[in-house]
């Protein structure tokens, strides 16, 4: 199955360069449809014509982003520190959304 996700320019470029191998999101209804082996097409927010395809190789479910980031190296998410990652993700998701849905990290492998 194929899924679509939009990402900001910097994370998009890190996915393309294979520097970001875990994409973190709320575990909402849309993300619950994604399974290991599925394909995600990432497109750049500011330039939607730029896209890259990746296969989901693992699904990491956690109650919170803090717990997700605590268990994995920040570089896997394309960040320098766990604090940086947490501050970045809070720009997109509220504490209420996080508590309601939980979170997910999709480990991805970009197609060459």
pLDDT of residue 112: 77
CB 9 within 8 A of CB 45: yes
CATH number at residue 101: 2.30.130.30
Q: Average pLDDT in the 28-52 region?
A: 97
Residues sharing a CB contact under 8 Å with residue 98, sequence separation 6 or more, in sequence order = 26, 64, 65
Total tally of structural domains belonging to the chain: 1
The tens digit of pLDDT for each residue in 88-108 reads 999 999 999 999 999 999 999
The tens digit of pLDDT for each residue in 46-61 reads 999 999 999 999 999 9
Number of other residues whose CB lies within 10 A of the CB of residue 85: 21
Number of other residues whose CB lies within 10 A of the CB of residue 102: 19
What distance, in Å, lies between the first and last C-alpha atoms of the chain? 19
pTM (predicted TM-score): 0.95
Domain that holds residue 66: 2-110
Number of other residues whose CB lies within 10 A of the CB of residue 17: 11
């Amino acid at each position: 199955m194929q899924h679509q996700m939009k990402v900001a320019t910097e994370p998009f470029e890190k996915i393309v360069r294979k520097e970001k191998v875990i994409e973190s999101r709320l575990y909402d209804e849309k993300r619950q449809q994604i399974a290991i082996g599925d394909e995600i097409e990432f497109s750049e927010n500011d330039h939607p014509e730029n896209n890259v395809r990746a296969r989901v190789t693992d699904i990491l479910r956690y109650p919170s982003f803090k717990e997700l980031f605590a268990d994995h190296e920040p570089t896997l998410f394309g960040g320098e520190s766990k604090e940086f990652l947490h501050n970045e993700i809070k720009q997109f998701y509220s504490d209420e959304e996080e508590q309601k849905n939980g979170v997910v990290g999709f480990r991805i492998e970009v197609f060459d």
